[in-house]
């Protein structure tokens, strides 16, 4: 059947028809190829933990650098606790239909990426910082402790009740804060 159709289309006067058929078949192949490819894996819990760990480590490094540069603080170790994970918020579009007393609404996620159809990320919420422990040489001074409480509170958006400042042991606190 295809051979007889091709023979009919191979005449010179039907050259444009043959081109249209070839383009149509190529289009069908392009549509079918994405369905044959394996799909991407969704984010795994291990990947989320690595992201949270990297965020916590970067925050601890920034706080350590900032606090060690402050006058009177001396050597410093910082521990940050994270209470929630990073969350993604996706863009939605919706319709509202009002019919007398009845209101119906529907919403769908906005997608991008052609055939992959991935949802459009509107914004990402960083993990919530629940507390910070600071161990430093200068913790014996009330002035230094107050400066550390204020600096950490402003940098992390935490009240002083979620910050603890203590003296650093002679070993540097490597055993207890790692």
Which residue, chain included where needed, has tokens 């028809």? 17
Q: Are 109 and 155 part of one and the same domain? A: no
Q: Are 130 and 81 part of one and the same domain? A: yes
Q: How many domains does the chain have?
A: 3
Q: Are 134 and 74 part of one and the same domain? A: yes
Strands (E), the chain: 76-82, 87-90, 92-99, 102-109, 111-112, 118-119, 121-125, 129-136, 163-167
CB-count exposure of residue 136 (10 Å: 0-12, 13-18, 19+):
buried
Q: Are 132 and 172 part of one and the same domain? A: yes
pLDDT of residue 174: 52
Q: Are 109 and 163 part of one and the same domain? A: no
pLDDT of residue 23: 76
Q: Are 80 and 134 part of one and the same domain? A: yes
* Sign (positive or negative) of CA dihedral 81, 85, 91, 97: negative
Q: Are 51 and 68 part of one and the same domain? A: yes
Q: Are 177 and 137 part of one and the same domain? A: yes
140 CB-near residues (< 8 Å, 6+ apart): 167
Give the CB-side neighbour count of residue 8, counting CA atoms within 13 A. Answer: 7
> If you ran DSSP here, which 8-state letter would residue 104 be given?
E
Q: Are 82 and 92 part of one and the same domain? A: no
Euclidean distance between CA atoms 79 and 134, whole angstroms: 7
The CATH code of the domain that includes 174 is 3.30.300.30
pLDDT of residue 14: 61
pLDDT of residue 43: 47
Task: Identify the segments of the chain with pLDDT beneath 50.
Answer: 42-45, 173, 175-178
Q: Are 135 and 76 part of one and the same domain? A: yes
Euclidean distance between CA atoms 2 and 22, whole angstroms: 12
Q: Are 130 and 150 part of one and the same domain? A: yes
State which of 78, 107, 123 marks the end of a domain: 123
Euclidean distance between CA atoms 165 and 63, whole angstroms: 13
Q: Are 104 and 27 part of one and the same domain? A: no
Instruction: Look up residue 147 and give its two tokens.
Output: 């400066």
Residue 144 and residue 150 in contact, taking contact as beta carbons nearer than 8 Å: no
Cβ-defined contacts of 35-42 (< 8 Å, 24+) = 40/116
Instruction: Please provide residue 116's backbone torsions phi and psi, each rounded to the nearest 5 degrees.
Output: -70, -30
Domain, as residue range, for 141: 44-86+126-178
């Amino acid at each position: 059947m295809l051979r007889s159709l091709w023979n009919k289309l191979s005449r010179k006067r039907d050259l444009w028809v043959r081109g249209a058929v070839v383009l149509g078949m190529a289009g069908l192949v392009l549509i079918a190829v994405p369905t044959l490819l394996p799909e991407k894996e969704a984010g795994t819990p291990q990947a989320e933990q690595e992201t949270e760990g990297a965020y916590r480590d970067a925050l601890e490094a920034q706080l350590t650098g900032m606090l060690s540069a402050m006058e009177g603080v001396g050597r410093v170790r910082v521990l940050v606790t994270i209470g929630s994970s990073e969350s993604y918020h996706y863009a939605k579009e919706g319709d509202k239909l009002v019919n007398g007393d009845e209101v119906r609404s529907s919403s769908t996620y906005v997608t991008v990426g052609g055939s992959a159809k991935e949802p459009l990320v509107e914004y990402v919420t960083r993990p919530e910082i629940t507390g910070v422990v600071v161990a430093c040489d200068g913790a014996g001074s009330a002035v230094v402790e107050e400066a550390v409480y204020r600096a950490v509170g402003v940098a992390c958006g935490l009240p002083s009740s979620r910050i603890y400042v203590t003296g650093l042991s002679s070993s540097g606190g490597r055993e207890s804060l790692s």
